[in-house]
């Protein structure tokens, strides 16, 4: 057993101890090689339960947060999932092992291009990703069974995302609350836009921003990846 495998097993055991009980979520996280999604100089930290920078001012989320967001959504293999914030593509790949199809939107085109290479490398064929404004969702592909947003909304989620949920569908999104961020689940109760809302855990995410990011935005980030 190599050191990477040992670290991965230790992380899975840690996630179990922190309340991640869905065996399908744990299995998906075990199957996705997190070391492939972090900067080379940080590979030794890939299986620590911490967020890590990936360039363009963005991060790969803490494994516990990835697991909790995924578990709370109760994803099935029939679900069509919208992800806002592709980032490194790590969360996308975890989702791809659990659902029928993932549609993912990233506002930083260099990150998207890097993530798409990883999807090909891992032979994940049920992911469709575009560069765009995640706050608008993906109207052409609505409605979605589940939506996951990996950036923090100011106060309330964008109405466009709530509108694109199926009745009975769920969205997980970090929002600001009393000057702090909290991970919140919205479950669409029916056709009349009523939602059951549940706070899950305190978190720290980058802000949810509109529009495509200009090429100059955080272009000098020291952790920017250079596409292979």
DSSP string covering 166-198: EEEEEEEEEEEETTEEEEEEEEE-STT--EEEE
- Inside any domain, residue 218: no
67 touches 26 (CB < 8 A): yes
- Inside any domain, residue 54: yes
Residues of the chain with pLDDT under 50: 226-228
The CATH number covering residue 102 comes to 3.40.50.150
27 is an active site residue:
no
Listed in sequence order, the DSSP H helices in the chain are 3-17, 23-31, 63-73, 90-96, 109-121, 159-163
Collapse the DSSP code of 57 into the 3-class scheme (helix H, G, I; strand E, B; otherwise coil) and give the result.
Answer: coil
Q: What's the pTM?
A: 0.94
Domain that holds residue 181: 3-202
Question: Given 21, 27, 61, 88, which residue is catalytic?
Answer: 61
**pLDDT on residue 228:** 40
Beta partners for 198? 185
- Inside any domain, residue 207: no
- Inside any domain, residue 125: yes
**pLDDT on residue 227:** 43
**pLDDT on residue 225:** 60
**pLDDT on residue 219:** 79
CA dihedral for 172, 173, 176, 180, sign (positive or negative): positive
- Inside any domain, residue 217: no
Count of domains observed in the chain = 1
Compute the distance between CA of residue 3 and CA of residue 166 in angstroms, rounded to an integer.
43
- Inside any domain, residue 141: yes
Compute the distance between CA of residue 202 and CA of residue 130 in angstroms, rounded to an integer.
29
- Inside any domain, residue 222: no
Compute the distance between CA of residue 7 and CA of residue 44 in angstroms, rounded to an integer.
9
- Inside any domain, residue 91: yes
CA dihedral for 130, 135, 136, 139, sign (positive or negative): positive
């Amino acid at each position: 057993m190599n050191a990477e495998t040992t670290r991965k097993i230790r992380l899975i055991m840690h996630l179990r101890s922190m309340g991640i009980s869905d065996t399908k979520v744990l299995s998906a996280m075990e199957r996705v090689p997190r070391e492939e999604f972090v900067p080379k100089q940080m590979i030794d930290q890939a299986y620590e339960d911490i967020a890590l920078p990936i360039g363009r001012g963005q991060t790969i989320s803490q494994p516990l947060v990835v697991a909790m967001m995924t578990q709370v959504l109760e994803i099935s293999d029939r679900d069509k999932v919208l992800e806002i914030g592709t980032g490194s593509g790590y969360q996308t790949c975890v989702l791809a092992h659990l659902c029928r199809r993932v549609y993912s939107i990233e506002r930083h085109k260099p990150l998207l291009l890097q993530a798409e290479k990883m999807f090909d490398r891992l032979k994940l064929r049920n992911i469709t990703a575009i560069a765009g404004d995640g706050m608008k969702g993906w109207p052409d592909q609505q409605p979605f069974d589940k939506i996951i947003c990996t950036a923090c909304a100011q106060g309330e989620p964008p109405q466009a995302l709530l509108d694109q949920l199926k009745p009975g569908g769920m969205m997980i999104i970090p929002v600001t609350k009393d000057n702090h961020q909290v991970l919140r689940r919205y479950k669409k109760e029916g056709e009349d836009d009523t939602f059951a809302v549940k706070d899950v855990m305190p978190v720290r995410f980058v802000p949810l921003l509109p529009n495509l990011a200009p090429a100059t935005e955080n272009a000098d980030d020291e952790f920017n990846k250079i596409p292979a």
